Amino acid sequence: MKITIFGSGYVGLVTGACFAEVGNDVLCVDIDEEKISRLKQGEIPIYEPGLEDMAVDNAREGRLRFTSDPAEGVAFGLFQFIAVGTPPDEDGSADLRHVLSVAKTIGSNMEDYRIIVDKSTVPVGTADLVSEQVKSAMEERGVSIDYDVVSNPEFLKEGDAISDFMKPERIIVGVDNPRTKELLRNLYAPFNRSHERFIAMDVRSAELTKYAANAMLATKISFMNEIANIAERVGADVEAVRHGIGSDSRIGFSFIYPGVGYGGSCFPKDVQALEKTAVKYGYDARILQAVEAVNHDQKVSLVDKMKGHFGNELKGKTIALWGLAFKPNTDDMREAPSRRVIEELWAAGASVRAYDPVAMDEARRIYGERADLKLVETSEDALKGADALAVVTEWRVFRSPDFEVIKQELSSPVIFDGRNIYNPDLMEQLGITYYSIGRIPRGEGLSQQP
């Protein structure tokens, strides 16, 4: 099959590489010429395990190509995937400018039947807007050519995107035309082999499915963070509670890890956008608002603990920070809890020595080098001259560090663990003062308040 993908960002590149991998001819389009010229040379602008090899191999075989010419894209594929960004507007609604601009490009250039597939996460009703945009662009040219608009939300997790695409748990397709439904079923057949994962429904339900899935997961996390905050106050251990409730199969163990809040390009944006959609349709989505509010506060819970420990005086203190990416296995720092932690520390007059296994360039791009932020080359270097260690992202390499080095380097041995990756008993044995999330603090010089 011939497939065009508009938008060579995270979703577009993964989708393009995976469709090419199973033998399709894929053309990726982006208006950013520099990005396209780098892609043509085999340079993948994002960090995603396995993506570069897959893209390079398929490009070499001629199945994956790149262009900055949108008209070439429209002429190429029967399937026209829209995988451009939908950044939040000032009020948190999804900004559809890029999506609608691609729709206009398609309407202005198409000469034959096209299946336009919304892959970007777009509010309910967007497929209708896309359709209107295509139609009016054709009317301007005085032509009328048949087309369909389909919703096909992606469920890729950063760091696992290739396997999520190649072995999906479900393929959601919102489609009104039965013939188009069959074409999409065929397109996805290589990824739908062991049992039926193709779920077709009406377009609006597919659009809502994506938001409902992300909002449900974000809710689980905020709920668990709230339980952690209660656990701290009543003297309980949230890790025991997590174990206890997760073993109820109706609840399950996934996405109930307490921490410093969820980040990334999806949960924060999608929870807000769904809430705005509800408002637009006259519904006050109170659970979504609470999910968002709990997450907002949770991102600074570690800094609150530091303030408690240091007698509300962080001025002049240096904090070693491990983990900048919003989660492990990505260099993405969008809405990362680390950013709130760093910014709150600055506001309190502290400075930061930060290390992340892959997000250093991204941190440099966002903040640059400054007197109150040293971006260092190793996790041990981050500890030098610091007053405490804060663990913000649970990268594997942070799980079993040399605690003796931590004790030697810090001015006094204290760890603020935002991901509960260390054993409190061990910390106590080692003589490290240890604060974590939803567990009773251990060690010397503890603050009185949680």
Point out the annotated binding site for substrate.
Answer: 155-158, 210, 255-259, 263, 327
* DSSP 3-state of 324: coil
Please state the closest distance from residue 244 (CB atom) to ligand UDX, in A: 15
Pick the piece of the chain touching ligand UDX (CB under 6 A) from 69-77, 135-143, 144-152, 214-222: 214-222
Pick the piece of the chain touching ligand UDX (CB under 6 A) from 243-251, 253-261, 279-287, 310-318: 253-261
**How far apart are alpha carbons 258 and 226 in whole angstroms?**
8
Pick the piece of the chain touching ligand UDX (CB under 6 A) from 33-41, 173-181, 263-271, 356-364: 263-271
Reply yes or no on whether 266 is catalytic: yes
Pick the piece of the chain touching ligand UDX (CB under 6 A) from 262-270, 360-368, 398-406, 437-445: 262-270
294 binds ligand UDX (CB under 6 A): no
Please state the closest distance from residue 170 (CB atom) to ligand UDX, in A: 11
- Binding mask 297-326 toward ligand UDX (x if CB under 6 A, else -) reads -----------------------------x
Alpha-carbon distance values, 323 to 4, 35, 139, 357 (Å) = 36, 27, 52, 8
Please state the closest distance from residue 178 (CB atom) to ligand UDX, in A: 27
Q: Is 360 exposed, middle or buried (0-12, 13-18, 19+ CB in 10 A)?
A: middle
259 binds ligand UDX (CB under 6 A): yes
Alpha-carbon distance values, 1 to 154, 170, 186 (Å) = 20, 21, 10
Amino acid at position 302, single letter:
L
Pick the piece of the chain touching ligand UDX (CB under 6 A) from 72-80, 264-272, 306-314, 372-380: 264-272
Per the listing, tokens 């991102």 go with 299
Residue number with CB closer to ligand UDX (46 or 348): 46
**How far apart are alpha carbons 213 and 197 in whole angstroms?**
16
Please state the closest distance from residue 7 (CB atom) to ligand UDX, in A: 15
Please state the closest distance from residue 366 (CB atom) to ligand UDX, in A: 17
Please state the closest distance from residue 95 (CB atom) to ligand UDX, in A: 18
Nearest-5° Cα angle at 359, 358 to 364 = 135
Tokens coding 163: 């396997």
Amino acid at position 149, single letter:
V
Residue 81's Cα: distance from chain center in Å? Answer: 20
Give the residue, chosen from 20, 51, 173, 266, that forms a contact with ligand UDX under the rule CB under 6 A: 266
Nearest residue to 383 via CA among 295, 293, 319? 319
Please state the closest distance from residue 113 (CB atom) to ligand UDX, in A: 30
Residue number with CB closer to ligand UDX (232 or 387): 232
Tokens coding 416: 């603020």
**How far apart are alpha carbons 220 and 226 in whole angstroms?**
10
Annotated active-site residue in 266, 314, 324, 363: 266
Helices 126-141 and 97-109, interaxial angle, to 10°? 40
Q: Is 169 exposed, middle or buried (0-12, 13-18, 19+ CB in 10 A)?
A: exposed
Helices 203-234 and 267-280, interaxial angle, to 10°? 120
Give the residue, chosen from 6, 147, 257, 367, that forms a contact with ligand UDX under the rule CB under 6 A: 257
The binding site comprises 30, 35, 86, 121, 155-158, 210, 255-259, 263, 269, 327, 334
Nearest residue to 298 via CA among 354, 249, 258? 258
268 binds ligand UDX (CB under 6 A): no
CB atoms within 10 A of CB 106: 24
118 binds ligand UDX (CB under 6 A): no
- Binding mask 143-162 toward ligand UDX (x if CB under 6 A, else -) reads -----------xxxxx----
Residue number with CB closer to ligand UDX (154 or 292): 154
* DSSP 3-state of 42: coil
**End-to-end CA, the chain:** 59
- Binding mask 34-73 toward ligand UDX (x if CB under 6 A, else -) reads ----------------------------------------
Residue number with CB closer to ligand UDX (21 or 270): 270
214 binds ligand UDX (CB under 6 A): yes
**How far apart are alpha carbons 370 and 367 in whole angstroms?**
8
Q: Beta 79-82 vs 114-118: how paired, if at all?
A: parallel
Residue number with CB closer to ligand UDX (155 or 395): 155
The set of residues, in sequence order, having a beta carbon less than 8 Å from that of 211 and lying 6+ positions away, is 121, 123, 124, 270, 273, 274, 277
Give the residue, chosen from 47, 81, 267, 422, that forms a contact with ligand UDX under the rule CB under 6 A: 267
The binding site for NAD(+) comprises 30, 35, 86, 121, 158, 269, 334
Query: Where in the sequence numbering do the catalytic residues fall?
Result: 266
Interface with ligand UDX (CB under 6 A) = 154-158, 214, 217, 221, 255-257, 259, 262-264, 266-267, 326-327
